[in-house]
Amino acid sequence: MGQAATKIKAGDTLTIVTANLLQYSGDFVVSSDGSITVQVFGRFDVAGKTIPEAQQLIQKRAREFIRDANVTVILKLELPQYVYVVAERISDGAVPWTPGLDVRQVVAKYNTLGPLDSYSAKLYHAGQSARAINLVKLVREGDESQNVHLEAGDVLALLPAASKSVWVLGNVRTPGLTRVQPDDGAARALAAAGGIDTTVFSAAEYKVSLRRGDQTWTRPWADVLARDDWALEQGDTLTVVAPQEVKISVGGFVKQPGVVKVRDGAALLAAVEAAGGVAPTGTLQRTLLFRSGEVTVVDARSLVQGGTDPGMPIKEGDFIYVSENVHDYQLLGFVMRPGRKLIPDSKQVRLSDAVAAGEGLAQRGTFRNIVLMRPDGHGKFSAKRYNLDEFIKKGDLTQNPEIAAGDIVFVDQISGTSLQDLLRFLPNLVLFDRLF
């Protein structure tokens, strides 16, 4: 910044040169009242003026005594300016002031302050309280509304904040005694302790307990984060608890039946997956959960589809039995591999899928002549003929119906068999397929 914009202040040293008149020249220190006194010319109030303004003022007075006096004023020495930080942990709180200096820059100069939320910051300007500053919002959260450009002489006072101390223990990054603000809840206290340690488990898998005297409350971490309505008191203890493992027996139609270890409270599907998952001939539709002498039938297929646990989290000692998949249909006729075919869990099987399960057409078989036979509630079959070629070539969905459990799909030859004959000889066809 050039001298033209510099404001003169008490303590600055000015050099005044009156051309060819050394007796009226010299160095002058601006007194505490903001003035200087020049021999013969008298007293001048220069504090708050720029160098050109002071020069014009002195020259005007000098020409009252000396015609055409030519006066030059130079700022020889500028008194350093400061802002001041007052805090218990700071011994030297004088910070040299420069234009543009702000609160964030001043706080950054001190790395011994400790936790910022332990301070109540107030900025004083010209001896009066200008405003309160939230250091946590400014430094940690980047809230620029808390930042202020400082002026020389400003005082930033960092006073001990009203706070309370709680213990934060368990799976947090910095366990121990933690200071929190009067209105802070459990979520903010955990954040002040460095947050949950997610090295082994995700945060959502943890629980948080609050102990106060002889009382204890426990919640899932997600609930604590969403609600944050645990009002803390001095001396409370928050503990972040990692999930515990329990032993579960899994049997039936799974790939690796036996005893497995899973996290306490996990979904039923977690135990099935720990046992290798459902076997090709098994189904989650009628999963049996044995617990304390009672049996509960659970349709766990929704878990595979991304649904939620159907209200049955597993516990130590549970026994889970995965049932056999009896949802099937019969594929008969001119295909390479006829026989009983399963309808997998959570999967829609259409006529094209059913025929594809036969691994190709046999000699004389055709996609144009496929019969779907379906039983009614009394076991009586009805038959309908479909041309699958219309779906394959033209995308006609009416020729590609969904297959239901108990259906019989017959891939016919080009000449075709009448529907009446197929229904008449149906028992023989099924028996022949099962025998050979």
Q: Do residues 208 and 240 touch, judged by C-beta distance below 8 A?
A: yes
pLDDT at position 288 over 80: yes
pLDDT at position 429 over 70: no
Average pLDDT over residues 244-265: 89
Give 229: exposed, middle or buried? Use CB within 10 Å, 0-12, 13-18, 19+.
exposed
pLDDT at position 137 over 90: no
pLDDT for 434 equals 45
Average pLDDT over residues 217-237: 87
- What are the angstrom distances between the C-alpha of 425 and each of 299, 330, 421? 37, 15, 6
Domains and CATH numbers, the chain: 3-77 (3.30.1950.10), 82-160 (3.10.560.10), 164-241 (3.10.560.10), 245-324 (3.10.560.10), 328-435 (3.10.560.10)
Band the pLDDT of 56: cuts 50, 70, 90. Answer: very high
* Helix ranges (DSSP H) in 128-172: 135
More confident residue, 198 or 53: 53
Identify residue 336 by its one-letter amino acid code.
M
- DSSP helix/strand/coil, 351: helix
Band the pLDDT of 432: cuts 50, 70, 90. Answer: very low
More confident residue, 3 or 274: 274
Q: Do residues 161 and 117 touch, judged by C-beta distance below 8 A?
A: yes
DSSP 362: P
pLDDT for 302 equals 67
Residue 60: which residues within 8 A CB-CB, separation 6 or more?
A: none
Q: Do residues 255 and 277 touch, judged by C-beta distance below 8 A?
A: yes
Between 198-212, 291-305, 389-403, 408-422, the lowest mean confidence (pLDDT) is in 291-305
Average pLDDT over residues 11-31: 89
Tens digits of per-residue pLDDT, 179-194?
A: 887 778 898 899 889 9
More confident residue, 48 or 347: 48
Average pLDDT over residues 22-38: 89
Average pLDDT, the chain: 85
- Distance, CA of 15 to CA of 2 (rounded, Å): 16
Average pLDDT over residues 141-156: 89
Instruction: Compute the Cα dihedral for 262, 267, 271, 274 and give only its sign.
Output: negative
Rg from Cα positions in the chain: 44
Band the pLDDT of 426: cuts 50, 70, 90. Answer: low
pLDDT for 217 equals 92
Beta strands in 93-206 (DSSP E): 94-96, 119-125, 128-133, 155-160, 164-170, 176-180
- Distance, CA of 80 to CA of 68 (rounded, Å): 35
- Distance, CA of 208 to CA of 227 (rounded, Å): 13
Q: What is the DSSP string of 361-372?
A: BPTTEEEEEEEE
Average pLDDT over residues 381-407: 91
The model scores a pTM over 0.95:
no
